[in-house]
A and B are shown apart, each in its own frame.
Chain A
Amino acid sequence: MTIEFSLNCEHVSIDVDPTKRLLDVLRDDFGLTGVKEGCSEGECGACCVLLNGQLVTSCIIPIAGVHGQDVRTIEWVRTTRLGETIIQSYADGGAVQCGFCIPGMVMASYYLLSNNPNPTKKEIRKGISGNMCRCTGYDLIVESIYLAAKRVGELHKARG
């Protein structure tokens, strides 16, 4: 079956089993390996992508479901100003350990800060509660997202 969708702002078309998971299509067919497989059941968030601007887990979405839709992955987010700021803040804030959950975590951070540029730490905890991390205990991730929000705020101020 031919499935067409917008992937990281480019129109793509693929002939594929409609039940193949979006996650597998992204990784195997488009080589977007920044999208990670953690739990395979929509629980851990390592495979998070944006579908029409909403944060979703790509391991439980059949590719047929994204026909005509807009999909964005970490490979796109990292090219944006906000994405770059989040990534740099994660590095500076010590948020990254093994790193396997982190691309998904960055996606959740991007979604959160896009919708709420000045979150409280409590709102940040809620914002990443669908993303599991086994290394960090979450504190430095929360701090890093808070740092990213501040940096984005300063950017806006500087731009006036």
Chain B
Amino acid sequence: MADMRNDKARKDAISKASGRETYVGDLSLDGMIYACLVRTSVPRGIIKSITLPPLPDGYYYFDDRNIPENGRNELWMIQKDWKCFAAGSSGYVGETIGILCGPDRTLLYSLRDQIKVEYEEQTPAVSIEDSLALVGGPIIGENNYHCTVELQAGDGDIDEIMKNAYRVVEEKFSTGHQEHMHLETNGMMVNYEDGKYVYYASCQCPFYIRKSVAGIIGATPEDIIVRQMSTGGAFGGKEHFPDVVAGPLILAEYYLKKPIKLIFNREEDTQFSVKRHPSVVKFKTALDRKGNILAMDSIVYYNAGRYLASSYIVIQRGCMHIEGVYKFPVARTRGYSMATNTFPSCAFRGFGAPQTIFAVETHMTHIAEKLGVDPVEYKRRYLIKQGDTTITNGKIVENVRTPELIEKVCKASDYFEKSRKYGFGSGKGIGFSLYNHGGAFTGNGESAIIKAVVKVCKRKDGTVLIKAGQTEMGQGFSSAVCRIAAKTLGIPYEKVIYKYPDTSVVPDSGPTAASRSTMVPGNLVMKACEELKARWDEADELECEAHYEHPEGYPWDQASFQGYAYLGYGWGACVVEVEVDPRTAETKIKGIWSAHDVGNCIDPLIVHGQVNGGIAQGIGWASTELLENKGGYFKQHSMSDYIIPTSMDLPAQEVYYANEPYKWGPYGAKGMGELVFNGSGAAYVDALSRAINRKIDSIPNPTEVIMGHILHSEKLTEDKR
């Protein structure tokens, strides 16, 4: 185990706590003007006309009609389907029509409100059910599928197994939209400097922005520089979405060539930014006479919204986590990413895994309860272990320590005693979940798609500068990477410098996403530092670089989606205890216990903070974070009607580890940023279900929904145990 205790605080802590840190909203350049986006107000329709009010001097409006001849009205994410400007049709409420620029923000918003847009409205498909029923006619293709995925593992014809089973348990689970609600809204500034378009951006992936928007003005990525600013929370919400902000800005800058700042207000950020995918997951599970699982068949639908964004990969991730931490004799899953007329869904911590993990965990719990077995005991029978085959027909490479994780949380929480004592419907409930998350890009993505490079530079003053595209957005990479370098080089932590990435300075080491930053680029930093250490005395100034190489012997075929999907998973177990007032449905969380295998903690305090925060977000998702979409319009607009947990809503958490060092990670570390979100929702719902003795198969569960369950839902069990 690497010895990396926290004797020194994280690099950015004092600057942030004292209010000295510069976020893009704090940045001001000479001659700076402001911008706001003009957006569509109907979920589906043809734009008949756009009428602008007279614009005072110094105010400008641009849209697709201003795109130069060699430019294209498209943002390049994974595909190029997301239009930069709506250009004649609206596919969701809030699609960008144009951009308005000028010196006074108040006047800018007032001018925007005077713009008249006439539509020929069409019937929108808003939900997964609408999309499947082709409400209003197909949005894309013949069946509204953005993309599909099918995976199967185990021997035998699953349909035959279902036919011959003693019992088949069928269930359906659903989850809703979730808003990232990072405290800093989306925003960026663009400026034309020395012949380059320079962005100052709140973002996760500076290189994504370059690639995505260059084509709009017929430029190349090299014509663009992206400088990340301190980023006030992201959670996936600033992975691809900043492209949507940067696109219209580059067109305005093409004409204006002056600093333009665009900051979303909270209402805009809540309604008009990407969200977590709503989901519907259906299971058919075949059991034998003794209650053993013979096969599990599933269908997964995610509401992707109008454009693909990252949904192709999100649905894959969802399907690849459909077995949770278990191994079933035969498993099949079919996933469909559905087009709807809602704001496109995109990355959000967990990236498709939390939805299927919630579903499979709750399904397993329900089967156990049907059989009269404690869910923890039942789940223990199916734990996947080293060498077992996954749903992509690869194997689990590492030693899986879920039995220890279960021990730790159950002992700390006194799970079995409380489970027996509280029973069902007593107003007190204890819930349990298991979960995992595959670290880094799927399969050979790190070597075939990303090809990460990092550099480390020894400087004259004896400091070492890390050059990587990895952003700091609160997760702590800037400090973790310096610890890795300091340890490898044998120099003090203070001598290692990380700077917010500037694409003209750092190599592309891939996106800050997929729980990969410490695991993959962090490992490259360690390798580059090993070389730098060996060559330390060669010169006063020296630069070493490292390139990603995928370990041999773990094949992956991207075309068939078969092979080793992930070489290192994070693993977790969580117990949540609640009390519910049966008359008011008011719910109080009494305790949260978790145990994780994160490989190794590079910075234990940062890992602790990630665990606390991820679990809190997961509980928010499962409990109060209701974001309704009525007819294409989000009903909640702000932090007073979209309810995230406060300090009074959560008890102090107890956090444990059983870390299995990861062979290919820096000092054994592996991905953990998303893992810690994946399971608390299922544990919370389990606790709630038991407390009120009602079957709960959906997320979220604000008080009024819990009351609905108490009044109308099926009982979880008649057995009082």
Interface residues, chain A, with chain B CB atoms under 8 Å away: 27, 33-41, 43-44, 46, 73-75, 78, 86-88, 90-103, 106, 121, 125-126, 128-129, 131-142
Interface size on B, residues (CB 8 A): 56
In the complex, the answer to whether B608 meets A140 with C-beta atoms within 8 Å is: yes
Could you say which of B18, B230, B614, B644 contacts A74, with CB atoms under 8 Å apart? B18
Which A residues lie within 8 Å of B639 (CB)?
38-39, 41, 43-44, 132
CB neighbours of A128 from chain B (8 A) = 647
Beyond A33-B26, A41-B640, A137-B616, is A129–B648 a contact (Cβ under 8 Å)?
Answer: yes
Chain A residues whose C-beta falls within 8 Å of the C-beta of B640 in the assembled complex = 39, 41, 43
> If A100-B23, A140-B608 touch, does A134 touch B182 (CB 8 Å cutoff)?
yes
Complex partner residue of A102 from B17, B473, B650, CB under 8 angstroms: B17
Contact B183 A78 (CB under 8 A): no
Query: Contact between A100 and B652 (Cβ–Cβ < 8 Å)?
Result: no
Whether B183 lies near A134 (C-beta < 8 A) is yes
Interface-centre pick from A44, A78, A99, A139 (highest chain B CB count, 10 A):
A99
B696 is an interface residue with CB less than 8 A from chain A: no
A96 touches B616 (CB 8 A): no
How far is it, in angstroms, between the C-alpha of A92 and the C-alpha of B14 when the chains are bound? Answer: 9
Please provide the 10 A-B residue pairs with the shortest distance between their CB atoms, ordered closest to farther: A34-B19, A99-B16, A98-B474, A100-B232, A137-B616, A137-B612, A91-B13, A97-B474, A33-B26, A91-B9
**Contact: A140 with B474, CB < 8 Å?**
no
Most buried by B among A97, A133, A140: A97
Q: From known contacts A39-B640, A44-B183, infer whether A94 and B606 are also in contact, taking CB-CB under 8 Å.
A: yes
User: Which residues B1-30 have CB closer than 8 A to chain A?
Assistant: 6, 9-10, 12-23, 25-26
Question: In angstroms, how far is the closest chain B Cβ from the Cβ of A62?
Answer: 14
Residues of B near any A CB (own CB < 8 A): 6, 9-10, 12-23, 25-26, 180-184, 230-235, 265-267, 473-476, 605-606, 608-609, 612-617, 638-640, 644-648, 650, 652-653
Check A96 against B26 for contact (C-beta < 8 Å). no
With A39-B266, A78-B19, A95-B17: A140-B650 Cβ-Cβ less than 8 Å: no
**B607: nearest residue on chain A (CB-CB)?**
A94
Given contacts A34-B20, A44-B639, A74-B18, contact A138 B612 (CB under 8 A): yes
- Whose C-beta in chain B lies nearest to the C-beta of A125? B647
Docked Cα-Cα span, A97 to B640, in Å, equals 23
**Residue contact B653 to A139, C-beta cutoff 8 Å:** yes
Question: Do A140 and B20 have beta carbons less than 8 Å apart?
Answer: no
Closest B residue to A109 by beta carbon equals B17
A-B contact sample (12 more), CB < 8 A, given A91-B13, A98-B16, A132-B644: A36-B25, A36-B232, A39-B640, A94-B10, A98-B183, A99-B13, A100-B232, A103-B16, A128-B647, A136-B616, A138-B650, A142-B647
In-complex Cβ contact of A98 among B233, B644, B645, B650 (8 A) = B233
Q: Which residue of B lies closest to A73 (CB)?
A: B19
User: Are the C-beta atoms of A132 and B183 separated by less than 8 Å?
Assistant: yes
Residue pair B231, A98 in contact (C-beta under 8 Å):
yes
Chain B residues with Cβ below 8 Å from A102 are 16-17
16 contacts between A and B (CB under 8 A): A40-B265, A46-B183, A91-B14, A97-B233, A97-B476, A98-B474, A99-B13, A100-B184, A103-B19, A106-B19, A134-B233, A136-B612, A137-B617, A138-B646, A138-B650, A140-B609
B612 CB contacts on chain A under 8 angstroms? 136-140
User: Out of A40, A86, A99, A132, which one reaches B232, CB within 8 Å?
Assistant: A99
Q: Which chain A residues lie closer than 8 Å to B644 at the CB level?
A: 132, 134
Q: Given the complex, which residues of A lie within 8 Å of B25, measured CB to CB?
A: 33, 36-37
Taking CB atoms, residues of chain B closer than 8 Å to A95 are: 13, 17
Determine how close the nearest CB of chain B comes to the CB of A128; give it in whole angstroms: 5
A78 to B21, CA, bound (A): 13
B474 and A135 form a contact (CB under 8 A): yes
Q: A98-B473, A132-B644, A140-B608 are in contact. Are A87 and B233 (CB under 8 A)?
A: no
How long is the Cα–Cα vector from A46 to B12 in the complex, in angstroms? Answer: 18
The answer to whether B266 touches A41, judged by C-beta atoms less than 8 angstroms apart, is yes
Chain A residues near B614 (CB, 8 Å)?
137
Which of B17, B265, B648, B653 is A99 in contact with, Cβ under 8 Å? Answer: B17
| Residue pair B647, A96 in contact (C-beta under 8 Å) | no
Contact status A121-B652, CB under 8 Å: yes
User: Nearest Cβ distance between residue A146 and chain B, in whole angstroms?
Assistant: 11
Closest Cβ of chain A to B529, distance in Å, is: 25
Q: Given contacts A129-B647, A138-B612, are A35 and B19 in contact (CB under 8 A)?
A: yes
Which residues of A have CB within 8 Å of B183?
36, 38, 44, 46, 98, 100-101, 132-134
Contact, CB under 8 Å: B266 / A100: no
Q: How far is the CB of B634 from chain A (nearest CB, A)?
A: 16
Q: Are A126 and B648 in contact (CB under 8 A)?
A: yes
What is the CB-to-nearest-CB distance from B68 to chain A, in angstroms, rounded to a whole number? 34
Q: Which residue on A lies nearest to B15, using beta carbons?
A: A99
Pair B617/A134 contact, Cβ less than 8 Å: yes
How far in angstroms is the closest Cβ of chain B from A31?
8
Residues in B with CB closer than 8 Å to A94 are 6, 9-10, 605-606, 608-609
> Shortest beta-carbon distance, A74 to chain B, in Å?
4
Taken together as a complex, chains A and B put the C-alpha atoms of A46 and B644 apart, in Å, by 15
Tell me if A90 and B17 are in contact (CB < 8 A).
yes
Q: How far is the CA of A40 from the CA of B109 in the complex (A)?
A: 15
Complex CA–CA separation, A133 to B17 (angstroms): 13
Taking a contact as CB atoms under 8 Å apart, the answer to whether A98 and B232 are in contact is: yes
Q: Are B182 and A41 in contact (CB under 8 A)?
A: no
Docked pose: A27 CA to B652 CA in angstroms: 35
C-alpha spacing A86/B506, complex, angstroms: 35
Which residues of the other chain, B, contact A132 by a CB distance below 8 angstroms? 183, 639, 644, 646
Q: How far is the CB of A24 from chain B (nearest CB, A)?
A: 9
Taking CB atoms, residues of chain B closer than 8 Å to A135 are: 233, 474, 609, 613
Expressed in whole angstroms, the minimum distance between the Cβ of B248 and any Cβ of chain A is: 22
Decide: A134 and B235 in contact? CB cutoff 8 A. yes
Q: What chain B residues lie within 8 Å of A34 (beta carbons)? A: 18-20
Q: Which residues of A contact B19 (CB under 8 A)?
A: 33-35, 73-75, 78, 103, 106
A90: B residues at CB distance < 8 A: 13, 17
Interchain CB contact under 8 A, B17 and A96:
yes
Q: Is the CB of B231 within 8 A of A91?
A: no
Q: Is A78 within 8 A of B18, CB to CB?
A: yes
- Give B171 Cβ to nearest chain A Cβ, in Å: 30
Chain A residues, CB < 8 A from B652: 121, 139, 142
Give Cα A121–Cα B648 distance, bound, in whole angstroms: 11
| Residue contact B615 to A99, C-beta cutoff 8 Å | no
**Complexed CA–CA distance, A134 and B19 (Å):** 18
What's the least CB distance linking A123 to chain B, in Å? 11
How far, in whole Å, are A141 and B26 apart by their CA atoms in the complex? 24
A125 CB contacts on chain B under 8 angstroms: 647-648
Expressed in whole angstroms, the minimum distance between the Cβ of A136 and any Cβ of chain B is 5
Q: What separation, in Å, do the CA atoms of A141 and B23 have in the docked complex?
A: 21
Contact (Cβ within 8 A) B14 A88: yes
Can you name the residue of chain A whose Cβ is closest to the Cβ of B654? Answer: A139
B204 → chain A closest CB, angstroms: 12
Nearest-neighbor residue (CB-CB) of A136 within chain B: B613
The interface residues of chain B lying within 8 Å CB-to-CB of A33 are 19, 22, 25-26
Q: Determine the chain B residues whose CB is within 8 A of the CB of A27 once the complex forms.
A: 26
Instruction: Point out the residues of chain A lying under 8 angstroms from B613, CB to CB.
Output: 97, 134-137
A87 to chain B, nearest CB (A): 4
Instruction: Kindly name the residue among A35, A38, A88 whose own CB sees the greatest number of chain B CB atoms within 10 A.
Output: A38
